Amino acid sequence: MVSTDMLNNNLKIVFEEIKQLIGGRFTTSIGIRETHGRDESYHEAFLPDAVAFVNSTEEVSSILKICYQYSIPVIPFGAGTSLEGHIAAVRGGISIDLSNLNNIIQVNFEDLDCRVMAGVTRNQLNNYLRDQGLFFPIDPGANATLGGMVATRASGTTAVKYGTMKDNVLSLKVVLADGRVIETSKRARKSSAGYDLTRLFVGSEGTLGVITEITIKLFGIPETKSVASCVFPNIENAINSVIEVIQLGVPIARIEFADEVQIEAINKFEGSSYDVLPTLWIEFHGSENSVKEQSEIVHKITEAYKGSSFKWTSKLEEYNKLWKARHNAAYAAVALRPGCGIWATDVCVPISKLADCILETKKQIQNSTIPAPIVGHVGDGNFHVCFVVDPKNSAEISEVKKINEDLVFRAIEMDGTCTGEHGIGYGKVEYLLKEHGDITVDVMKSIKFSLDPKNIMNPGKIFRN
Amino acid sequence: MVSTDMLNNNLKIVFEEIKQLIGGRFTTSIGIRETHGRDESYHEAFLPDAVAFVNSTEEVSSILKICYQYSIPVIPFGAGTSLEGHIAAVRGGISIDLSNLNNIIQVNFEDLDCRVMAGVTRNQLNNYLRDQGLFFPIDPGANATLGGMVATRASGTTAVKYGTMKDNVLSLKVVLADGRVIETSKRARKSSAGYDLTRLFVGSEGTLGVITEITIKLFGIPETKSVASCVFPNIENAINSVIEVIQLGVPIARIEFADEVQIEAINKFEGSSYDVLPTLWIEFHGSENSVKEQSEIVHKITEAYKGSSFKWTSKLEEYNKLWKARHNAAYAAVALRPGCGIWATDVCVPISKLADCILETKKQIQNSTIPAPIVGHVGDGNFHVCFVVDPKNSAEISEVKKINEDLVFRAIEMDGTCTGEHGIGYGKVEYLLKEHGDITVDVMKSIKFSLDPKNIMNPGKIFRN
């Protein structure tokens, strides 16, 4: 252990050395530290001691060498859209802001892949690709950086067809804790050459190194996109039709669920008049014939589960309207209680348990006065209860904490996970232990300390350590 | 370091302790040791000192505790179908034969997943699943055990649609070097809960622990399967049509290439009369309409690249005939030189480089007298040159070694990998270094030694260490 005095002294030295390296792009301004200490969640902010805006992998490497020498924590920062306090500087240290690393380095059209710097955002990339008829499908909602999406193993609405970040990264350039730089893989579509370091860094939340470049898979923009919506008399029927759609292998691109509370919130927010019932929104990608055939199959299945008001369209205007309603879900929820924030739960369970998991949770929510609409990426068994809480009301926070914890334990009991896509950050450290048990988490820690023996990389995340 | 004397003494103690544990299922019979020291490749055999046929995870754990205490190497053994000497006991030790762990533990029909013991073979599983309308798609050719397929990150002909083992494993039960037992994940379809230990063990080749149980994804047997075949005037045209098929997002289930040498060998072997030209075999999965539409698109594309003799069928008899020819490729190759064996190369490159890579390799092969047909999982950029060599002829072995090495370097130069699906074993240790560089391989070693500090788990594989 390094003493506090020595740490303060070390910090001064580190400040000086980094300043010499990047000049005015190193700052201790309180305003900038504040925007780097809190993500989009309800979690308490922890300000870094300073922020370094880096322009290259080499700069990241130099800064890490300095921080490693003096045992100063380093927290990689992308767009700050994480939801479990991932970027909070719980032990102080230097926030490395990667937003200047925003070049799209190379698009390999024939290979359907591209290489980007870690600070490129999802929207930036898709705007760039559109003219070439390509897109990157992973859509977590927020306009996150690709680096952040890799670090949290993000997914979202399209995972049912395109997988999560783990399925779409071919290779990473990573700066290790001691400043060494590695490339995790070549650009081949598959390889059996040694340990899968790519997948080890995907979801490592900045605790193993700083990701600076990313090679990802791309997809051709589908010839036709169409959407359908359908309402159900109850949640079981909605979920059972999802199970059947997936079992039949219908290659749906998205299948999203919203409960009646969420629909009511959207109606209020948009002035719309959707049926206030459990609802599915489904997207199809493919040729014109294929999307038509897919939607006909889905229509038949939903009818068998008493689904009604089935609407199907390939018209862009209606397509956009429907997904706008879905994307407005969170804003619509917040609008239920102006001035309040969202606490989004994130369990994911085997789909056979999904209806039970949602229903038991709803039963518990009914005794609460806190608004709690539910949306779900139900094709994967993942759903979010979006509690609209007053962060200053400690009784409310305790109440939601309890409901969230019960939900997490319920999901784990059902062979599910405490986090489908948001990650552990510092908000779910105890739940990670509950989910995996001590020995498995010890294995993770062994790996962590083999690569970062001084624990400078985003300490306090994933593990309390 | 433990001295040789001490090691011999330790080995005696370990023999006694394991015998007490599993009685007659522990053996030092030379015949059994011989079948456990050589895989299906040309690589030199190394016999284990003994073989333990285990019946449970608990037995594996007890044996590992003993071996760990006395620093005795442990080599997990499935079906022995690996191709880079993975199961050779290069440092002696105990081969743990997992073939008795052959129970299909649970099939979760609604969740499209199942849990099996590591010794269950691919064919065993698919025979079991057939009546339920389900299947496990990964097809490396050999009837490997699922445990072996996980350990080598296997793939094969269907990876273009269904991915590799890395994409299809949900969770693993693993016995660590010191005998501790972990479960890498829950059964949810996705999770962001900590490091991706599942993917770390997929492809770890027995060097991090013994995999004893596996939870994998399943798929519904498609409503319709159809196949097409097509020949091309040259290799570029064949590969360019593959690139276009993939770019258009046609969801082909397999797209396999064979060069004219391979076709000629098959004709000789089967008495068939396929056109002796670069050939593609393509499989489609889906509804009746969808497979028809897919094949029409593919037909048009192949025509644009001067493909001819396009044949398409959904008839089971013709389907089986075509894939039998593909599955006979290796036997047909061996039949070219009775008494000889196969040395299969395994590079994988970005698909834009595939035609160049194959053509440059063929140019080199033309100067050789060793038969060398080529087949490829070309949708992924992966191909095999199947050298039919006389393993006793050292000049031939040297010649193939040189051609293989040139091919590996060529692939790496093209941003590809030295092994698409066979793994490193002890045959490609130097190429792993060439591909990733020292620092990346050092990171792999750090992880290895953090989990297996005494280096008892399949030592000498992946790394020379």
- Is A251 within 8 Å of chain B by CB? yes
Q: Which of these, B458, B390, B384, B447, lies nearest to B418 by C-alpha position?
A: B384
Answer whether B186 sits within 8 Å of A449, measured CB to CB: no
Q: pLDDT tens, A376-421? A: 999 999 999 999 999 899 999 999 999 999 999 999 999 999 999 9
Give, in words, the CATH class of A4-99. alpha beta
Q: pLDDT tens, A108-143? A: 999 999 999 999 999 999 999 999 999 999 999 999
| ∠ Cα B20 B178 B75 (to 5°) | 70
Contact A39, A89 (CB under 8 A): no
Whether the predicted pLDDT of B1 surpasses 60: no
Whether the predicted pLDDT of A2 surpasses 90: no
B187, B287, B380: residue with CB nearest A350: B187
d(CA A112, CA A109): 5
Q: Return the percentage of chain B with pLDDT > 70, whole number.
A: 100
Whether the predicted pLDDT of A465 surpasses 90: no
Q: Chain B residue with minimal CA distance to A183? A: B440
Write out chain A residues lying below 8 Å of B144, CB-based. Answer: none
pLDDT for position B400: 97
SS (H, E, C) A204-243: CCCCCEEEEEEEEECEECCCEEEEEEEECCCHHHHHHHHH
Answer whether B111 sits within 8 Å of A188, measured CB to CB: no
Query: What is the ipTM score, two decimals?
Result: 0.97
| Number of other CB atoms surrounding residue A438 within 10 Å | 10
Q: Which residue type, as a one-letter code, is found at position B414?
A: M
Give, in words, the CATH class of A224-413. alpha beta
Q: pLDDT tens, A216-238? A: 999 999 999 999 999 999 999 99
Q: pLDDT tens, A227-285? A: 999 999 999 999 999 999 999 999 999 999 999 999 999 999 999 999 999 999 999 99
- Residue A178 backbone dihedrals phi, psi, to 5 degrees: -90, 10
CATH number, domain B107-220? 3.30.465.10
d(CA B98, CA B199): 21
B188, B193, B200: residue with CB nearest A424: B193
pLDDT for position A1: 53
Listed range (A432-446, B115-129, B309-323, B443-457) with the worst mean pLDDT:
B309-323
pLDDT for position B2: 60
How many angstroms away from the CA of B426 is the closest CA of chain A?
11
* B214 band by pLDDT with thresholds 50, 70 and 90: very high
| Number of other CB atoms surrounding residue A166 within 10 Å | 23
Q: Can you name the residues that pair with A457 across neighbouring β-strands?
A: A74
Whether the predicted pLDDT of A6 surpasses 80: no
Answer whether B421 sits within 8 Å of A192, measured CB to CB: yes
Interface of B with A in 268-327 (CB under 8 A): 286-287, 289-290, 293, 297
B166, B193, B412: residue with CB nearest A417: B193
**For residues A360-385, average pLDDT:** 96
CATH number, domain A104-220? 3.30.465.10
Whether the predicted pLDDT of B366 surpasses 70: yes
d(CA B387, CA B418): 16
Q: Angle, to 10 degrees, between the axis of helix B354-365 and the axis of helix B235-247?
A: 160
Write out chain A residues lying below 8 Å of B168, CB-based. Answer: none
Answer whether A416 sits within 8 Å of B154, measured CB to CB: no
Write out chain B residues lying below 8 Å of A219, CB-based. Answer: 249
Q: Chain B residue with minimal CA distance to A380? A: B189
Chosen for mutation from A162, A181, A192 (greatest number of chain B CBs closer than 10 Å) is A192
- Catalogue the long-range contacts made by B364-369 (C-beta closer than 8 Å, 24 or more residues apart): B364/B403, B364/B406, B364/B407, B365/B403, B368/B399, B368/B403
Answer whether A246 sits within 8 Å of B451, measured CB to CB: no
A224-231 and A308-313 strand pairing:
antiparallel
Answer whether B197 sits within 8 Å of A110, measured CB to CB: no
Interface of A with B in 166-195 (CB under 8 A): 166-167, 176, 180-195
Q: Which residue type, as a one-letter code, is found at position A287?
A: S
Answer whether A196 sits within 8 Å of B202, measured CB to CB: yes
* B118 band by pLDDT with thresholds 50, 70 and 90: very high
- Catalogue the long-range contacts made by B258-262 (C-beta closer than 8 Å, 24 or more residues apart): B258/B326, B258/B329, B258/B373, B258/B374, B258/B375, B258/B376, B259/B235, B259/B358, B259/B362, B259/B373, B259/B374, B259/B375, B261/B371, B261/B372, B261/B373, B261/B374, B262/B329, B262/B332, B262/B333, B262/B373, B262/B374, B262/B375, B262/B386
Contact A358, A239 (CB under 8 A): yes
Most confident of A367-371, B133-137, B312-316: B133-137
- Is A105 within 8 Å of chain B by CB? no
Q: pLDDT tens, B240-271? A: 999 999 999 999 999 999 999 999 999 999 99
* A438 band by pLDDT with thresholds 50, 70 and 90: very high
**For residues A364-375, average pLDDT:** 95
Q: Chain A residue with minimal CA distance to B150? A: A192
Q: What residues does each domain of chain B span? A: 4-99, 107-220, 224-413
- Of A32 and B392, more confident: A32
**For residues A299-327, average pLDDT:** 94
Answer whether B352 sits within 8 Å of A415, measured CB to CB: no
Spatial neighbors of B359 by CB under 8 A, at least 6 apart, are B235, B236
What mean pLDDT value characterizes chain B? 96
pTM attached to this predicted model: 0.97
How many angstroms away from the CA of B79 is the closest CA of chain A?
19
